[in-house]
Amino acid sequence: MMILARVLLLLALLTSVNSFHASYHHLQRDASPTFLKLSGGDAAVPELKAPLALYEGAVDLGVKKASFSFDKIFKLAIVSGAHIGFGAYLALTVGGACFGIATDNPGLQKMILGAFGLPFGLLMTIVTGGELFTGNTALVTAAVMEGKSSWKDLVKSWSASFTGNFVGSILLAYLAFQSGTLGNGPAAVAIATGKCSLSWQTAFVRGLLCNWLIGMSVYMASGCASIAGKTIAVWFPVSAFVALGLDNSVANMFLIPLGMMRGAQVTIPQFLLKNLIPVTLGNIVGGAICAMAPFGLTHGKWFNTKSPSK
């Protein structure tokens, strides 16, 4: 009897183990791929929008910016002018102080000047929803050309952001001058003098090329969902325009007045007529035509009444 009981117990154990093993494999085979996914939320936002969605999103952002009041744009633009000023301030402090590198390896010095400074200034503006004239030349223009905003809105956006950027840049230039952190470094004076020694045509072309890159930076960043994506979209084009020696009107609103405060032999008329005006006009062409028009003509309905491409 004892032997029979032991045999029966062993058979029961083997049957239980086999049943558990079969059930385990059955669960594995039938498990849904979504078993471990969270439910109840919306579909994941793509890290980077597809080209058509990228353009449409940029237009929508331009419409939103164009709808703001003059007062709101002006206030946000003051902060953005200071943001860009901080970027230029850092560039002068780091890249502008690499005298030995500038002599031995000027290419490396330009890379340092571009990488440390203005990219973080633009990133602060984009992440915080600021108003930057150079970016608005691209985004708000697209909104107008798609018929979703008016030319009156464009004039309001451009004028409010330009004047606000100017106020913020001048304010930060004064604070940077008063801080004394640049010491006796000659970079601010040299940059201001050099920028106001350009011919009108050269300043215009440098402004055009600069905002072609800035417009692309703002455009690409508008289609990125994460801070990492926006950082990459901003960093490379902005560091490139600085390293190439191009001109941004908002950055120059900080750089040239700061150089003048530090002793640059530049008058206010020279600042305005030989640099700020031609660079600003170049920025408008670069942002509206070079950066945005190609996508408006292919994905949108610029200059025609046909439906956008799908």
Q: Secondary structure of 259-298 in the HEC alphabet?
A: HHHCCCCCCHHHHHHHHHHHHHHHHHHHHHHHHHHHHHHH
Residue 249 class from Cβ within 10 Å (0-12 exposed, 13-18 middle, 19+ buried)?
A: buried
| pLDDT on residue 32 | 40
The answer to whether 89 and 176 are in contact (CB under 8 A) is yes
Q: CA-CA distances (angstroms) from residue 117 to 11, 83, 113, 240, 241?
A: 77, 10, 7, 12, 12
Tell me phi and psi for residue 109, to 5 degrees: -60, -40
Q: Which of 13, 242, 240, 235 shows the shortest CA–CA distance to 124?
A: 235
The answer to whether 200 and 278 are in contact (CB under 8 A) is yes
Cα separation of 300 and 139, whole Å?
Answer: 13
Mean pLDDT by 10 residues, the chain (310 residues): 42 44 44 41 76 96 98 98 96 86 84 87 95 98 97 98 98 97 92 97 98 97 94 94 95 97 96 98 98 96 65
What six digits make up the tokens of 292? 């945005």
The answer to whether 222 and 291 are in contact (CB under 8 A) is no
| pLDDT on residue 115 | 84
**Residue 52 CB: number of other CB atoms within 10 A?**
15
Tell me phi and psi for residue 48, to 5 degrees: -135, 130
DSSP state letter for 308: P
Q: How far is CA 213 from the centre of its chain?
A: 10
Please enumerate in sequence order all residues whose Cβ is within 8 A of that of 76, keeping only pairs 6 or more positions apart, or say none. Answer: 68, 129, 130, 131, 164
| pLDDT on residue 7 | 39
Does the predicted model carry a pTM greater than 0.85? no
Which residues lie across from 267 on neighbouring strands? none
| pLDDT on residue 43 | 61
Coil vs helix vs strand at 169:
helix
What six digits make up the tokens of 222? 């508008």
Cα separation of 182 and 237, whole Å?
Answer: 26
Q: Which of 138, 137, 136, 96 shows the shortest CA–CA distance to 113?
A: 96
Q: Which of 247, 162, 238 shows the shortest CA–CA distance to 197?
A: 247
Cα separation of 176 and 256, whole Å?
Answer: 13
What six digits make up the tokens of 162? 């330009």
Q: CA-CA distances (angstroms) from residue 74 to 105, 134, 148, 175, 282?
A: 41, 14, 22, 20, 22
Coil vs helix vs strand at 210:
helix
| pLDDT on residue 6 | 44
- Amino acid at the residue 33: P
What six digits make up the tokens of 218? 């703002």
